[in-house]
Chains A and B, each alone.
Chain A
């Protein structure tokens, strides 16, 4: 049973555009929602994370929006750049459980 559903599976955005990746979860015990970024040939690396006591967190061009009632959260990449081309994973964790990852979104930012 997939506990974190991520969409879209792939995304093409023009340079300077906004990339949006969405995730939904079922487990209301989740209280930590990170996003990981993975470049080809590398392991995933933490990009940004949010806890459900806030609705938005921004770090540079990357923003997480969180909707607790809808059990959804999303990653927005403003002014997308070719260097942002990577696979992005949302994830969720509750208490001392391990991270549950979404299946990933392959983002391609065209020059």
Chain B
């Protein structure tokens, strides 16, 4: 069964450093998402992406964040200068082109900013 994959599974970085989180969505999916989950809290939307551009973004997704689909398979989230409060589990998701398609989530990347 196809699945969304994410790398790395765990990333530790120092405050102020740049990190890139990588995702490989399901191959025939066209809609992509990043969410995050701070420990013990609910899953929050960051950004959605379609046709090589951002569709929607939340207020969390400020100028420190960017997304990119550098090739036909990868979908990346970059945090330019990490802050302590960026520590969270980051989930990538993708879905098919039907408007009611469910989103499939990757296993997540745990980001720890020290």
A and B: partners? no
Q: A residues touching B (Cβ–Cβ < 8 Å)?
A: none
Q: B residues touching A (Cβ–Cβ < 8 Å)?
A: none
